[in-house]
Structure 1
Amino acid sequence: MDTAAPADTPHTARTEEVLEVTERFVAHNYHPLEVVVTKAQGATVTDADGKQYLDFLAGYSALNFGHGHPAILEAAHKQLDRVTLTSRAFHNDQLGPFARELCGLIGKDMMLPMNTGAEAVEAGIKVARKWGYERKGVQPDQANIIVAAGNFHGRTTTVISFSDDDDARRNYGPYTPGFITVPFGDIAALEDAIDQNTVAVLLEPIQGEAGVVVPPAGYLPAVRTLTETNNVLFIADEIQSGLGRTGSTLACEHEGVVPDVYLLGKALGGGVVPVSAVVADTDVLGVLQPGQHGSTFGGNPLACAVGRVVVSLLSDGQFQERARTLGGILHTGLEQLRAKGVTAVRGRGLWAGIDIDPALGSGREVCRRLADYGVLAKDTHGPTIRFAPPLVATEAEILRGIDYLAKVLEDLA
């Protein structure tokens, strides 16, 4: 169905009221487009005016399986009627099976359940430092972790301490020490930065917020070799890139790389509840003892019941194959727009960073006009927009999103 609507379609009073109350009572830490979503199913959302949109953001990959996936909702409904929270002061009957199934999917011994992606990153940092002191023998308070320029691992105080995003970092000091930044994709710079106090290298295998930046071929294997040689942990932040998004369960698999630690989140909660995890072998996660790290909601039975379905959906590889196939269609279509205002296309699977000629308009302007046509996407860093449709999107929906981007570029030319 063609969901296009004229750019000057007025908002209804209901939409205006929602926007007004949100502006008044919600902190202005986001700058959303003026779309008020009231319903969603699959790859489609509906706003307060009844207009439908293709969701080409998918909650920054939190909705890999689309809105309202029936198996995920069924598990959530059933668990809601049983028990939703016990805290980790007691056991529940979902956490153990979820951990076993997730570890089986990922190929590691243990998992640490958390809630948000940023919590998983913070937990991974703590585990790496503790491992460094207790296993590697680094002197107290001397541990350093190497990160990449252009990274995005969240917005907590520790994480923004090693961010080079001025909006995320400015005026939040003093900053947490213990991090060294090197250029993403530069293996020589990474090698030069490693010293006797380095406990981990923390990287996104594909940098999402930076514009879906794929490192040079061979970079991740070289990182793996360097970290093994120097007794340093390789921590892969797969919170956005993982769980089917790029055409494999984990983006690292494209290069045949197995890090020491995976950080997972977003899609792990099926778009229903926040679920994240640190997944590693016993020699790493085994450094944690009772009372040394925790979370009241981490590992709650509702989250685990949902997470178990997500693991099940990924277990036969169908979603990964779907992302590969549809991703080929997506990238082929986007490449054909290079002569029409697109200057670069990056990414893997159903994930693309698209640079727009700044002479045509900003990334936000392109996204605003896409929304007028019925496609929701997100800009990042000026002229760049991102496409990340749910893995349940159809070929026709993928092609329609590309067609509408072509229309926007024609309008701006």
Structure 2
Amino acid sequence: MPWTWVSDRSRRLRDAWHVYDAVVWDRWLAVVFTGLAFVPALSIMSVQFGNLPGRPADAFTIVLILAQTLPLAVRTRWPAACLAINGASFVVHETVGYPMQFGTVTVYLALYSVGAHQERFRRVIAAVLSAAYVVLCVTMHLLGSPVLLSEFLVFYLLFAACWVLGAFVRGQRSQEAERRRLAAVAATAAERARIARELHDVVTHHVTGIVVQADSTQFVVTSPDRVGTALTTIGDAGRRALAELRHLLDVLEATGESATPVTGTMRDLVEQTRSGGQPVTLVEDGDQPALPIGVRLALYRAVQEGLTNAVKYAEGRPTTVRVDYRDDRVEAEVTNAAAVVSVGARSGLSGGRGLAGLRDRIGALGGELAAGEQPDGGFRLYASIPVGGAE
């Protein structure tokens, strides 16, 4: 496609322009315009302002040409200084009546540069330039210029258009910089949310088990065997939490594909919960495919969250985990019987972040999450995740 080819070439040219420092390009620009200014054939493209009686070229003409072209070397770094030198040389060249030369077109580029790159005193500079232009027009008229007022006005509009074009480019550049800044802020916020979600998922499951076991030991102090079992469970849960935290910290320092937490198996997760005293039944339907890491992690976190809530609010009550592996998606359901104590009795264990973070995680993969109390007083967590939700 011709338009695609032009767009691609323009993009490559723009990328190549940004590879080098602007100062380097400006220096080359000054060299090129200086060379072109001494080409007689290009004089027909010059800016002729005032049409005053002609004067033959002399050595001072060369000085004026160089004073118009060489300042382009600093047009990006010091645009106001570039325009001051360039503009003064242009005015002298035109009021003296030297022959036309291509270097006079650089006044357009100098005006554009101020509009595009000048950071401070933009309004002051615009006002000074407008006043100076009025003085120049009056001077030209007193020197006998045949140019009409309407022609002077056209020249002013042309000069102003160069400034406005530069200001437009400056505005576009500022908007792009702001867009990149906001994108960086959003990416940082998303990364913080991801880290918080991972920390919540890693810590809450194990710490909940530790708290529940620690609370239950006060009721079994008369049974050394049960106390020993509870303390062993607490120690195992603590060690698993530390191991997962260390792994998560290693992941956060990594980059690329390796920066994804690796989870255990579903059976390991269920067995860990059983060892804490929670009766859990695992039912798996279908053959487990090679799931993408994002889907596998979301599935693991969904079941983990369901078991954590069961331990929090329905300690010791029968809990069922069902995982259905299908061709296009995987579904997980965690249900538990009604709690013996009210939810408020263990409200101190809840931070309210688990389900919200899990819903965001699964939603990002194109899946859905449902969680709520059942008519019989139990609780159900259901997650459905497309197998192609993450690669």
TM-score, normalisation: structure 2? 0.23
Larger radius of gyration: 2
Q: Which one has more relative contact order, counting CA pairs under 8 Å at least 6 apart? A: 1
Q: Which has the higher helix share?
A: 2
Q: Which has the higher strand share?
A: 1
